[in-house]
Chain A
Amino acid sequence: MSHETDTAHLPVTEDDVRRIVREEVQRAFKEDPSTRKAAFAASKGTLDWAYPPLILGSSAAAVGMDTTIFFTLYGLNIVHRDFARKLKIDPVGNPAMPMPVRIPDIVSALPGMVPMASAMMRAKFAKNNIAAIGELLDTAREAGVRLVACQMSADVFGYTQDDFVDGVEFAGATAFMAEARRAHVTMFI
């Protein structure tokens, strides 16, 4: 037997095995459709909390993920036709909200404070060139993000299909979970 034949039949080394396993895992990961799927649940209906699901959802679509946002409970405000009026921010009980001067809750609770705080937030965001909610909704839809309204929440609030912006689908919690279980990225916001 020649020397050449001997080396050709050498047993695989531990390094070879590690390399093969690494390559196979990488390939499997790359081919796993779940890595290309994102599912968000948006449960909050205030102006500030309307941003994260729309920004993260759009970004997920931008990195090539098949993305769904499930709007449940107050989150329905975000996809309501009247979102511009419904999404507000309340300074009461919101110590994180930066105010020009510290205002006691008893003053913040006065009539007119919620519209004022909401207008202030919109102005501050606009001044910093942050997209408005309507623009983010359009962007998300354009990027192919599926907007799904929770059927049960819609029923509770008495909303029908016509109450929502175009393109909103209806589904239940189980339908969402059936999607989410195949998604590597899931978030409850």
Chain B
Amino acid sequence: MDVIEDRLVDARDLMCPMPVMAATKAMRGLRPGQVVKVLATDRGSLGDIPAWAEANDDEVLESGEEDGVFYFYVRKAE
């Protein structure tokens, strides 16, 4: 996918709730429509990041796994 993130959150090796909290902090500094990319190894983030995005009306543009690392591109709500 050709999405380029505006901010990268490296939450690898962090456990619940830290990946979401790190993403929340990053998202606060973004303007509507900007994209944060979250990297996580916590398996719980597979459910947590999409749930977090949905609750805030943000959108998960793409997610997946690469070499044991989960990644999520989340666009801040307009």
Contacts and interface: CB of A to CB of B under 8 A. Distances in A.
Interface of A: 55, 58-59, 61-64, 128-131, 135, 139, 142-143
A130 B15 contact: yes
Contacts of B52: 62-63
Contacts of A139: 17-18, 21
A62 B54 CA distance: 11
B51 interface: yes
B20 interface: yes
B24 interface: yes
B72 to A, nearest CB: 14
Interface of B: 13-18, 20-21, 23-25, 51-52, 55-56
Nearest to A130: B15
Nearest to A57: B17
30 contacts: A55-B17, A58-B17, A58-B21, A59-B17, A59-B20, A61-B24, A62-B17, A62-B21, A62-B24, A63-B51, A63-B52, A63-B55, A64-B55, A64-B56, A128-B15, A129-B13, A129-B15, A130-B15, A131-B14, A131-B15, A131-B18, A135-B18, A139-B17, A139-B18, A139-B21, A142-B21, A142-B25, A143-B21, A143-B24, A143-B25
Contacts of B51: 63
